[in-house]
Amino acid sequence: MGKEYRLRLLGPVQVECAGKPVRGFESHKAIALLGYLVVQNRAVTRPFLANLLWQKKSEARGRGNLSRVLHNLSSLLPDCLIADRDTIQFRCSDAYWLDTRAFEAFAARGDAFALAAAADLYRDEFMAGIFLDDCPEFETWLVTERERWRQHVSQVLQTLVVYHTQRGEGESGLRLVARWLDLDPWREEAHRHKMVLLARSGQRSDALAQYETCRRILAQELGVEPTRATTTLYAQIRDGTLAPLASPPVPPSDNLTVPLADRAND
């Protein structure tokens, strides 16, 4: 059996071979090119890549830099590229495990265990720590890609928080809603779930304080007040009239596959 390579892009970029870090990338641009090709998952022309990463260089200099970086990648990660005179593509073979591909596979399964595994793969923003100030087009792509992955994991966390809230599993729910709020601090729905989880676990004062946190963040970030749903929940917790769970716990084996992208926002 050949060596297995593991590429982690959901956080600081990590590349491993047989459990050991792969070192020797010549620059941040080499890592940036690797991440870009992994996500594109298609053939990209050499002129486009040269312009993407060496826009301020002459065409000849950009093509030369690209060839050097491709040689660096190929020497560190054998058979990772499909290259010809015109195009470059990352080779998605069984020798390469990708956290982005694993995340999408877990999310597609949709059950609670798979969604939790997907959430665990997201360590930080996509390709955290990579910044190429002299490559504006790459930076635009990177910002867009980071937002896309942030939304993906936010939707996964939302689904899990709803699941644990319905089951009355306060500890798990609070741990996950904290991660959700780290990503989306202005999401009222997340604040409401945290208020419910705190109240039902006997932390009434903390639940009321969470409302004030929600109100402050909305005022500072968006210049708005909480919606009626949030103020009504606050009143119910304050007055001790919060309704108990309306349905029995969902069996752990139940599939949670509501298309993540279709879940409604506030």
pLDDT in tens, 216-232: 999 999 999 999 999 99
Q: What is the mean pLDDT of residues 254-264?
A: 45
The yes-or-no verdict on residue 140 having pLDDT over 60 is: yes
pLDDT score for 254: 52
Q: Which of 16-20, 42-46, 56-60, 254-258 has the highest mean pLDDT?
A: 42-46
The DSSP-derived string for 106-162 is: HHHH-BHHHHHHHHHH--SSEEET---TT-HHHHHHHHHHHHHHHHHHHHHHHHHHH
Residue 258: the pLDDT is: 41
Answer for the pair 4, 97: CB distance below 8 angstroms, yes or no.
Answer: yes
- Is the pLDDT at 14 greater than 50? The verdict is yes
Task: Please say if the pLDDT value at position 260 is more than 80.
Answer: no
Please check whether residue 137 is in contact with residue 45, taking contact to mean a CB–CB distance below 8 angstroms: no
* Domains by residue range for the chain, with CATH: 5-97 (1.10.10.10), 104-260 (1.25.40.10)
Residue 89 pLDDT exceeds 50: yes
CB 188 within 8 A of CB 224: no
pLDDT bin (cut points 50, 70, 90) of residue 265 is very low
How many of the other CB atoms lie within 10 Å of CB of 28? 16
* Per-residue model confidence (pLDDT) at position 246: 59
- Cα–Cα nearest to 233, from 202, 201, 191: 191
Instruction: For residue 213, give both structure tokens.
Output: 């946190």
Q: What number is the average pLDDT over the span 83-87?
A: 94
Q: Which pLDDT does position 58 carry in this prediction?
A: 86
pLDDT over threshold 90, residue 187: yes
On the CB side of 134, CA atoms within 13 Å amount to: 9
User: Is 264's pLDDT higher than 50?
Assistant: no
pTM of the complete model beyond 0.95: no
Residue 46 DSSP class = H
Burial of 217 (0-12, 13-18, 19+ CB in 10 A): middle
Q: Which amino acid is at 236?
A: Q
* pLDDT tens digits, one per residue of 97-135: 999 999 999 999 999 999 999 999 999 999 999 999 999
Cα separation, 178 vs 183, in Å, equals 9
